[in-house]
Structure 1
Amino acid sequence: MLIAERANVLTGREDELGMILLDYYTGLHWAELIELEVKYARPGVIRVEWQLWEDDEGVFHQILPKDDSYRNVDLPAWLSKLVSDHIAQKAPKPCPCHGRRYVSKRHSIGSVRNLA
C-alpha cells in the first residue's frame, strides 16, 4: 500500500494508487492492466481480453493476451469499489483514434493499432 501511495504522490497521477493495487492483488501483467477497458471492469471481476505490445519501431498494438489467456479475475469488494469509484469519478472519455475507453490514463502511448 505504501508503494502505491508513494507512486501516486511522485507521479501526480491520481490513478496510480488504484492501478498499482489492482496489479498487486490480481497479478495482471502491466500490459493487460494498461489495456483494461472500462467495459471489462465489472463489479467484483475484471475481464482480461487484451494486452498492449510495442513493436521495434515504437508503435503500440492491441494484441490478444499471452497464450490466449482470456480470463475473469475476481476482485475483493474493497478493490472492486476502488475501481468503480475511480471510473465514476474520472468518467473516462473514448479515445479519439479508436473510441475505446480505458480505466487508467494512457500517457504518451499515442495511437494503438489492433492486431487481433
Structure 2
Amino acid sequence: MPSDPPPDDADDLAARARKAKVDTMQRHVLVCTAADCSPDGTVARALSHGVALAGARDRVGVVETKCLSICRGDGATVVVYPEGTWYAGVDEALAERIVADHLVGGHQVDDAAFLTNPLTPE
C-alpha cells in the first residue's frame, strides 16, 4: 500500500486539483483517441468546446484516453461517469447531442448509448 505523499506534495496536488476544478466536477467524460476511434481528437475537442460554451467547465471534465477496448471503427467511444454511460460511433454531431442532452441536461442519449454501468457508493 503506498504511503501518503509528503505534506508539501499533498498541498501542491490539492492546489493543482482546485485549479483544474477537480473539486467541483460532477461528470467525467473519457474519450477514446486510439487509431480506430478518433485519433485526431476531433470528438474530444467538440465535447470540450460544447462544455465550455454551455458554461459547464467547472462541472464537466473531458479527458482524452487511449483505447477503451470497445470500438467499432466508426467514431469515438465515449464514457460518461458517474452514470457509466457508454456511447459508440461518436462523431461531432453526436458529441453536440451528448453535451446538450446528457452533460448539461442530465439525460443520456438513449438512441446512442449501448451500455450503462453506473458507479455506486461503497
- TM-score scaled by length of structure 2: 0.25
| Structure showing greater Rg | 2
Q: Which protein is richer in helix relative to its size?
A: 1
